[in-house]
Amino acid sequence: MSILDLSAYQATENLSPQQKKFNRLVNKIEKLQAVLEEWQQAQQKVQQEASKELLPLYSQWHQILFSQLETLWQYKNTHKIARTYLQRLDEKISILASQLLNNPNLSAQQHELTVIIAQHYELIEVDSHSEEVDIHVNDHSNQAQDADEMMKKQVMKEILADQLGVTVDWLDFDLDLDNLEAFMEKVKDKLDREEADFLQNQLNEDERNDYQKFAEKEKKKILKKQAQLEEAKKMAEQSLKKIYLKIASLIHPDREQDEQKQIEKTALLQQANSALEQKDLLTLLKLRAYAAQVDQKQAVKIANEHLKLYNLLLEEQIEQLQFEVDDIVYSFDWVGSGFYKQTFKPIDLTKKYQRDLIDIQEKLAPHIGDHRKLLKKTAILIQGLQALNIPIMVNEQYPKGLGHTLPELTQLLSEKNTPVFEKTTFSACDTPTSWHHIAQQNRNNVILFGTETHVCVMQTALDLLDNGMQPIIITDAVGSRDLYDRKIAIRRMRRAGAVVTTTEAILFELCRSSEDPAFKTISALVK
């Protein structure tokens, strides 16, 4: 039981409605305090784990983005590019540059190149003074922060709109995340105006008069409660010291002979000191009641003193606690993480973190459209080719910056000791070690799959054709960040003479017959 729970004294005196309400409010506050503490602990845990696990991944991801930026920038400046493709290339480069401006995970050299590219695309103004350039960069960073704040505002508006049963567009006024109370006041004013318009248009004169009387009565109630709350606050300020002195007189440790009880009373007095300093009326009331438990009549008397006004303060404290909880809950982007719930629990924060962690881990691979499906098909293709004893080689484009092959695929490939070649050229044929390995296989047909379709895959395919070999493109096992790029690349490779097919089609084509020992394996894979 709460130390201020007066039900223990019912034998002495029946509890009044205000006393019962007091106990209900105290219980609710204690539950909310527990909820708040749980959320705070969950938030702290997630922040610690993010600092250890997630932030390093973001750092790697930013390095990947920079590598993409650098590669595309070099490609633009070293190749003759058609106007239509150049426009799309410029768009991608400018987006990457804007994402990386003033990024703390970039080196000074990387930052310098990003600024040069940003200046080229007029993302920041060109200026001879480095200080002014830095200002522009910071301005862009501020713009990014503004965009992030706008996203948070949008999420909050969507949540509020759902709770109010209105559209997001209906909330057509600015939302200050630091002053939700002012926003809700605007919401209330708009609802009142719309209600008044409805009454004006829909109700007859007698109905409008009745409603007007009702509205005025409700308004008086609200004003009365506000006045009472102000009175309660004033009274609380005056009562805090008085309550504290009473506590001190009842539990002062210097008056206690028993050593153990003296320690306990010292701890209670320290709590009272802290509560007085923080103007925590509830804790002081609880401590006073606890201190007076030796005298049941005194405990009941405490509960009766200004109890109605105290209850108003407790109700306000409940609202504040709920706001603190909501402030933590809705500081996170739930919708963007795939959570579509009305209410959230601390355990959901852990789940959200795990989702975010998985998401950024997946982004460490090239940011490929429909990548889950692509990964599945690639895994099936690798296992099928292994069952057919078709030799496989892996080419990794700048693994230091872009990362190695996904672990799910590496595990499959390592079982057969698949050779892995590092390259910086886009075409595998332009890398001597890779090309030497291909030539050694003495095969006319070469199956190509991986990313990105419009860069590494396409250039390798065109070079194979130039060298008299037949490239076979597995369309459901190649991908690009932009699906349009993938589409155009496949079309160009087909027109150049490449064979275009799918994972299942090529595996059964190579298998030829259901009597092949690999048939059962392939059938199970494509099921």
Contact 102, 123 (CB under 8 A): no
Give the list of residues 6+ apart from residue 479 with CB closer than 8 angstroms, or none. Answer: 366, 368, 369, 370, 371, 374, 451, 452, 453, 486
Residues carrying an active site annotation: 359, 423, 456
* Dist CA 447 CA 246 (whole Å): 87
* Dist CA 500 CA 519 (whole Å): 22
Residue showing tokens 């708040």: 36
Residue 222, judged by CB atoms within 10 A of its CB (0-12, 13-18, 19+), counts as exposed
Q: Which residues pair with 333 in a beta bridge?
A: none
* Dist CA 363 CA 384 (whole Å): 26
φ, ψ for residue 220 (rounded to 5)?
A: -65, -40
Task: For residue 400, give both structure tokens.
Answer: 């230091």
| CA distances from residue 458 to 281, 409, 462, 485 in whole angstroms, order as listed | 73, 21, 6, 11
Contact 471, 461 (CB under 8 A): yes
* Dist CA 142 CA 148 (whole Å): 10
Q: Left, alpha or beta for 75 (phi > 0: left; psi -120 to 50: alpha)?
A: alpha
